[in-house]
Amino acid sequence: MFSRIVPQPGPPRMLALAQLANSVGDGAYYVCSALYFTRVIGLSPAQVGFGLTLGWAVGAVAGIPLGHLADRRGPRGTAALLAAATGVAVCAYLFVSSFAMFLVAACLYACCQCGLSAVRQALLAGLIEAARRTEVRAHLQSAVNAGLAAGAALGGLALRFDTREAYLAVFAMDAAGFVISALLLLRLPVVPPSPPRVGGEPVLAVLRDRPYALVSLLNTVMLLYMPLLSLVIPLWVAQRTEAASWMVAAPLVLNTLGVMLFQVRVARRVTGLDGAARSVRRSGLVMLAACAAFALSAAGASASTAAAVLLVAASLQVVGEMMLASGAWEIGFGLAPRDKQGQYQGFFGTGTAVARMIGPVLLTTLIMDWGVAGWLLLGGLFAVAGWAMGPAVAWARRAGAAASGAPRREDLGTAVN
């Protein structure tokens, strides 16, 4: 299992260890943060929801210029700086005593997280040869899931004590994880910054790249699966099925283990932009089948039958998720100009922030209010977006080939090491 999480020695392993270091703290943070904000700080659930939504909205915008900063100054130093800044942002939560202070801390945290995500992708693109980026990115995702699982267990201990000190210890651990991550990133080779802009070239060229914007939009639609595991499926299992209460956690556990064990294997099958587009298209169909299975779980069957159907649905969902991730990584890297990976990864990564913002409200309304029809509509949306990715990628490739001075990944040789 270790070899599936941590890649071979060198930059790939150091990148994975850096991700693992901060994902352990993140796992504990995700488990405990809501209760800390409400029970310790004294905020209402509505205030917490608004603050986090605002934070991710600001972070989605900030990720693009922060990615551009990595292009201009070099991704290694920028990534280390943002990792340390994220640790500081986590510590800021420890001093929050009002809603206004919470809003500032939430925006700071989300900006650092979104920027760090974009810059890490640019760093990976600069350190790893083009043909291996998606496989290495899969290793990083496996490391993240392993860290989140371990962190969630530690967060569970804090919930067991349910004291201010226990929650503060979790936040301190998360901050320390980001500092360790920053130190690990500084041990990587230096990736030279991009050359200065030529006269008349826009600062943020990605904002004028309409084909890439369409690809990013379709990826955002596909990422709407994200709130399913953490919010919608638990509500669906508890309120609409006959399954035992423990089945609320089963899909999340299955998903975590599935990604840890099989994401790298799935990613190895994706080579080139054509293969990536096929992977996303097939992901949409698998997601449609998963949504149909989740809908079927509420057919009034016995508890054991409902549980079996839910496990089938969750298995289909994680397969679709891994296929989507592998294809999206290849597309995100492959369509970005070599000298603008930071800002392009920042733009592509806004899909995650947007899915976190609108996904919970959209999917709870769609699924919990519309029931089976909502599941089928969501599945159809996944299928259509997955199919549309192929023509969108083809358009982006044509536009990239016609643009002067913007080499795409398939035109590149070995990356800097």
pLDDT one-digit tens code per residue, 174-205:
999 999 999 999 999 999 888 776 666 677 88
Q: How far apart are CA 306 and CA 240, in angstroms?
A: 10
Confidence of residue 171 (pLDDT cuts 50, 70, 90): very high
Radius of gyration of the chain (CA): 21
pLDDT for 198: 66
Q: What is the 3-state secondary structure (H, E, C) of the chain?
A: CHHHHCCCCCHHHHHHHHHHHHHHHHHHHHHHHHHHHHHHCCCCHHHHHHHHHHHHHHHHHHHHHHHHHHHHHCHHHHHHHHHHHHHHHHHHHHHCCCHHHHHHHHHHHHHHHHHHHHHHHHHHHHHCCHHHHHHHHHHHHHHHHHHHHHHHHHHHHHHHHCCHHHHHHHHHHHHHHHHHHHHHHCCCCCCCCCCCCCCCCCCCHHHHCHHHHHHHHHHHHHHHHHHHHHHHHHHHHHHHCCCCHHHHCHHHHHHHHHHHHHHHHHHHCCCHHHHHHHHHHHHHHHHHHHHHHHHHCCCCCCHHHHHHHHHHHHHHHHHHHHHHHHHHHHHHHHCCCHHHHHHHHHHHCHHHHHHHHHHHHHHHHHHHHHCHHHHHHHHHHHHHHHHHHHHHHHHHHHHHHHCCCCCCHHHCCCCCC
Q: Which of 84, 122, 138 is nearest to 268 (CA)?
A: 138
Mean pLDDT in residue range 3-22:
84
Predicted confidence (pLDDT) per residue in 237-276, tens digit: 888 898 887 787 788 889 888 998 899 999 999 989 999 9
Same fold, 1-194 and 204-411: yes
pLDDT for 284: 97
Dihedral pair phi/psi, residue 258, rounded to 5°? -60, -45
CA distances, 207 to each of 68, 74, 315, 378, 401 (Å): 12, 21, 37, 29, 18
| Domain range 204-411, CATH class | mainly alpha
pLDDT for 160: 83
Domain chopping of the chain, boundaries: 1-194, 204-411
Mean pLDDT in residue range 42-49:
87
pLDDT for 234: 86
Torsion of CA 249, 253, 259, 261, to 10 degrees: -160
| Domain range 1-194, CATH class | mainly alpha
pLDDT for 409: 43
Predicted confidence (pLDDT) per residue in 281-331, tens digit: 999 999 999 999 999 999 877 889 999 999 999 999 999 999 999 999 999
Confidence of residue 2 (pLDDT cuts 50, 70, 90): low
Predicted confidence (pLDDT) per residue in 67-101, tens digit: 999 999 999 999 999 999 999 999 999 999 899 99
Choose the most confident range, by mean pLDDT, from 26-40, 122-136, 171-185: 171-185
- Structure tokens belonging to residue 51: 């603050």
Angle between helices 75-92 and 164-185 (to 10 degrees): 170
pLDDT(404) > 50: no
pLDDT for 48: 87
pLDDT for 403: 58
